[in-house]
Amino acid sequence: MKFSNNVYKFSLKEDSMTTLVGIRADKITPESKNKGIVLASDLSRTQDRWNVQGDQAYRQQTRSEGQKIYTDDKGELALCMSGVVDQQYIDFLSEVLRGRIDFRAAIKDSYLSELFNLNLKRWGGMVPNNENLNSLLVATRFDNSPKLYTCYPLGKVEERSWTSIGSGSGYALNHIQKKGNLIPEYLSLHEGVDLAVSALEEAAQDLYTGGADLTVITPTEIKQYGETIKARVSEAQKQAVAEIKKQL
């Protein structure tokens, strides 16, 4: 299963404030010979804990780094999530990655009942709680045809050409709209990568957004680049520190 072990290290309830970006790119060029979908996400996770001392309680907020884009075992689907990470979400994610949730049927019906049930269960059959739910971006390459979808908290599945969800999505969407070239037929995969990454950088204005992960879905495969980016950033930081030390 292509699924980082850190999935199992989340606390039972962690708020995943985030920015997720999806871009569809269909233009073929000499430099970019594939069409496909670009999924980009930040890596920041925000965790709230209540500490009790005597008669007083205070909320402690911590931040950590974590994977947010996952690929299923068959290499046909990639997804990323905005919202709460708890045991119910971990179980849902596991079912998706093992192919036990039929996304082909969900796309055909424009409805993902499992996501609706996940959120409904959290609300205890009472009232919707916007601070206690999940929504998804999903990219597929079924039948060698890459597609991008938004899955809303109440189960609606909608195909998109470009979109962003999460706490920093306002910044990302505003940036994408300003850049233009939003019609997939006029956007190459190389341009899609540039647009998704620059949208993430713009979303870094959001206090809960930080770091970068990238996955590219083509007709033939899904490539994950998060570890490559992380390693390159780490190496660049080491080199910068070495240069600084030389100047002292």
Q: Describe the crossing of helices 189-203 and 169-179 by its angle, rounded to 10 degrees.
A: 140
Note the pTM of the prediction, 2 decimals.
Answer: 0.81
Taking 90 as the threshold, does the pLDDT of residue 152 lie above it? yes
State the total domains in the chain.
1
CATH number at residue 38: 3.60.20.10
Chain position carrying tokens 């300003």: 178
Residues 23/37, Cβ–Cβ less than 8 Å: yes
Please report, rounded to a whole number, the percentage of residues in the chain having pLDDT higher than 70.
Answer: 81
Residue 63's pLDDT band (cuts 50, 70, 90): low
How confident is the model over 82-110, as pLDDT tens digits? 888 888 889 999 999 999 999 999 999 99
Residue 178's pLDDT band (cuts 50, 70, 90): confident
Host domain of residue 214: 5-246
